[in-house]
Amino acid sequence: MSSAEVVICGAGIAGVSAAYHLTVRHGVRSVVLVDDQPPLSVTSDKSTECYRNWWPGPGDTMVRFMSRSIDLLEEMAEESGNRFTMNRNGYAYLTADPARAAELERGAREVSALGAGPLRIHRGLPDDPPYPEERFDSLDLPVTGADLVLDRERILRRFPFLPPDVTALLHLRRCGWLSAQQLGMYMLERAREHGLRQVHGRIEEVIVSDGRVEGVRLEPGGGEGTIATRCFVNAAGPLSAEVGRRSGVELPLHNELHGKVMFEDYLGILPRELPLMLWCDPVSLSWSDEEREELAQDPELRWLTEQMPAGVHFRPEGGRDSRWHLLLWTYHLEAREPVFPPAIDPYYPEVVMRGLARMVPALAEYLRPGIMRRPYVDGGYYCKTRENRPLIGPTPVAGNHLLCGMSGFGIMASQAAAELLAAHIVGQQLPDYAGEFLLSRYEDPAYLQKMKAMASGQL
Ligand SMILES: Cc1cc2nc3c(=O)[nH]c(=O)nc-3n(C[C@H](O)[C@H](O)[C@H](O)COP(=O)(O)OP(=O)(O)OC[C@H]3O[C@@H](n4cnc5c(N)ncnc54)[C@H](O)[C@@H]3O)c2cc1C
């Protein structure tokens, strides 16, 4: 039987980041990372790979946590020669509804006041503040905060492909995307240099005796059998609740399926130099009268004729010469048991394209028969707590730690989350937001009260 100081279950971005922080940043010598799947291949390579420092309250916990994570990502980008191509291309939230524009302004004032950076408002008046420069596929632009543009002409000058009724743009600046796969590989290489051992296998049971972790048992056939350890980390992504049950802890987690379309804009409708573009209004898909009537008569498809939720979004993927874009829209939000590979609605690419045509009317060209080339579709699960904050730190079972519930922000949060987990494990001083990520927060009446007012911040 082998042994380890720490055994991490799951080589997704959470587990790999934990391995990196423990070995490289804290010098923990004997860390074992267990997974029966290749690193980052379950959820962490299905992501849109975006990040933002812009998070709602109440309280500044999420803003500070994500800002810390982005600080660490930037540090690693610097030290690695930006191996994971992190950029600061921004996020653009758009609406054609004046009431929602007012909501965007109210929300932006709130998040700015929580520490996410200054809010500059552009109304098309002579005393408007200057509009900070955009610089694409670069990190070399220290602009933060957000620009709220209430001047339609300016919005359409910058994004001429938007519909003429667009009313407001909220342009978030300390945001962008990166390659999660490259980030993961960089951390794995560094962690291996510092002694990380990877074990191929599935953890069947966490052995708990007298309320404390004693080891893990792997499924038979993996060659490793049992690994003795007094410190276990549950970073099992969408299977964290199941792994929790096998380690003596019930976890308040559920899974939501989110799909993603990789689409080739071979007609060249969309420019390349864009932020992530998100439409904040609910959308009614456009159909011919005939199609609408046919769909309305089919109980399984009637929903396609009804109002669909807000949030359809896209971003360019690849460099300036690429024509690919990632398109996303989660129009069915429901908790479900994870299955692999996830079953994605066969209509998904067409529905997303129809939704996007509200934001970019010229994309309707692809809805003509035979025009859209077959897109590539994948997706994965957001593993979430009720209030959409992760679970990081110890549990009532001594030595049993959590690094899960990473929802739709696991790539961007990976560094602050793993840093926090490592601080718990090595007994380092904790940041003052640590308590809001513990499992025990649900026993704190003040937290439960605060939770009632929390917005999920989910895209
Ligand atoms: C469509 C989509 C878009 C997204 N967009 C973004 C985004 O723009 N920005 C962002 O930050 N995040 C985004 N996310 C979220 C992000 O991808 C996840 O939060 C993150 O990948 C979760 O990482 P993880 O390590 O927790 O889980 P995973 O990557 O799923 O890794 C968990 C690992 O645990 C292993 N495992 C499970 N059980 C066991 C066991 N018993 N024994 C051994 N190993 C086990 C699994 O095999 C797996 O490899 C998106 C997600 C989706 C689905």
Q: What confidence tens digit (pLDDT) does each residue in 416-457 have?
A: 999 999 999 999 999 999 999 999 999 999 999 989 888 777
Secondary structure (DSSP) of 382-394: EEE-TTS--EEEE
Over residues 173-178, mean pLDDT: 98
Q: How far is the CA of 381 from the centre of ligand 1 (A)?
A: 7
Q: What confidence tens digit (pLDDT) does each residue in 62-112 have?
A: 999 999 999 999 999 999 999 999 999 999 999 999 999 999 999 999 999
Q: How high is the pLDDT of residue 390?
A: 98
Q: Is the CB of 390 under 6 A from ligand 1?
A: no
Question: How far from 81 is each of 137, 186, 334, CA to CA, in Å?
Answer: 14, 11, 41
Q: Which two tokens stand for residue 308?
A: 């669909």
Question: Distance between CA 123 and CA 419 in Å, rounded?
Answer: 41
Q: Which atom of ligand 1 is nearest to the CA of 410?
A: 19
Q: How far is the CA of 237 from the centre of ligand 1 (A)?
A: 5
Is residue 198's pLDDT more than 90?
yes
What's the chain's average pLDDT? 96
Q: Is the CB of 238 under 6 A from ligand 1?
A: yes
Q: Is the CB of 62 under 6 A from ligand 1?
A: no
Which residue in 247, 254, 255 sits closest to 395, CA to CA?
247
Residue nearest to atom 2 of ligand 1 (CA): 47
Asked if 310 contacts 333 with a C-beta cutoff of 8 angstroms, the reply is: no
Q: How far is the CA of 391 from the centre of ligand 1 (A)?
A: 14
Question: Distance between CA 107 and CA 196 in Å, rounded?
Answer: 43
DSSP at 401: E
Cβ neighbours for 291, distance < 8 A, ≥ 6 positions apart: none
Substitution site in 36, 40, 43 for ligand 1 pocket (most atoms within 8 Å of beta carbon)? 43
Residue nearest to atom 19 of ligand 1 (CA): 410
Residue nearest to atom 25 of ligand 1 (CA): 12
Question: Distance between CA 61 and CA 63 in Å, rounded?
Answer: 6
Q: With left for phi above 0 and alpha for psi between -120 and 50, is residue 407 left, alpha or beta?
A: left
Question: Distance between CA 216 and CA 141 in Å, rounded?
Answer: 46
Asked if 381 contacts 257 with a C-beta cutoff of 8 angstroms, the reply is: yes
